[in-house]
Structure 1
Amino acid sequence: MNFYAIKAIYKFEMARTFRTLMQSIASPVLSTSLYFIVFGAAIGSRMGDIDGVSYGAFIIPGLMMLALLSESVSNAAFGIFFPKFSGTIYEVLSAPVSFVEVVCGYVGAAASKSIMLGILILITARFFVDYEILHPIWMLSFLVLTAVTFSLFGFILGILSNNFQQLQVVPLLVITPLTFLGGSFYSISMLPPLWQTITLFNPVVYLISGFRWSFYGVSDVNIGMSVGMTLLFMLICISIIWWIFKTGYRLRQ
């Protein structure tokens, strides 16, 4: 394992983040803070508890997941797309590094940014609503696992995209709607039976449910199912990335 190569790619990507601090970190935190103000402090104070948890606290895991998924995909996608766009990807491909080291560098940096963002949002939420974390180790595990998994997905998206417009399609038209419909602002048990069944086909439900369980010990689906679905999606992403580097699809073209 060439750790120097991983470190070089990782430091380069993290340096790009700090050069665009307002766009990469401050903007998502401010946007999420508006959700806390509107739904947590204003609307939440007039709503009843959900599964014994105040509404303002109930939506914290969902809002964190909304930001985490979007930023993980976007960070990883832009990270690998820019070298493709500028042509510097050929320098990486011709260097004595394996695809594992390339992925570790780019995905590791994207996941680190998302984890930093998630922690900042968690700290910011304390200013608006009171909450507790019953299982902090599980919470951090879900945070890291989700960031890495969707950074892998974003890495694939960055390789497959031909222009900047295509980079925006999946985060805006797929990830965000699935997150909103995945129980970010409600429990799926509040839905009619038919819609509960349909909602279970949304993979984001398992992420939000498992993450919410780590906070309050309540969830819409079994915690084992949440972990299993996340790991399955991660393995699928790793397999696709391996195939892309093996065949050179959209990398050498």
Structure 2
Amino acid sequence: MIITDTHTHLYSEAFDEDRDEMISRAIEQGVTRFFIPAIDSTYTEAMLQLEKDYPENMFLMSGLHPTHVKDNYKDELEHVEHMLANHKFYAVGEIGIDLYWDKSTLEIQKAAFKHQIQLAKKYKLPIVIHCREAFGEVFEVLESEKGDDLFGVFHCFTGSLEQAHQAISYNMKLGIGGVSTFKNGKIDQFLNEIDLKHIVLETDAPYLAPVPFRGKRNESAYILKVLEKLSGIYNVSEEKLAEITTANSKAIFKI
């Protein structure tokens, strides 16, 4: 059984003391494909080291995270473009809009999001979207960029059924992780109305650990709890669910 974690920050400082052991735990349990989203230029070296250490397992993205869109964002976007031009990446991400932490940067967040979508189109890559308290704003940008060359993953999807269908209409898969196991997560109430062909699995490690690890450090091996939850929701075996969601990830990331 091959399981794909489409979103995991394995370079995070949270793993500095046991990174190799944590990755080994995941691989031993069948999680052998890890897609690594970027945050900003300060993490680039650590991401490249991960790829060097695990060349068969790590698939990197390049991008500027919306919470890191600051006054220097144009310099950061130049770094993203430089990396895309000089290294193999599998997506532009994670990118998007986050209005939970700072609403004052909305306009430059939108500008950075739009610019990075255009970079993804230039390099024929998928995008991986971060959206927090900003569905309307994210959909506004996606609407302006929609087309056959716009596709990707709506990471950590926590919206409504209607918003799920809207995301899918822009050629997005829904990234489903630990939130699906939360009592107040809500998405578990309608996920079975979304065809499995639109779903990929993720952890967002070290964040958003699934039940029974909620509140603790998340790690990629915990994706098995997400797999277990979705197996019940869709009434299919965990093996079949892993097969379908890995195939979906291959359709998006082309590997």
- Which gives a bigger RCO, structure 1 or 2 (Cα 8 Å, sep 6+)? 1
Larger Rg: 1
Question: Which has the larger share of strand?
Answer: 2
State if a TM-score over 0.5 links the two structures. no
Name the TM-score, length of structure 1 as normaliser: 0.24
Name the TM-score, length of structure 2 as normaliser: 0.24
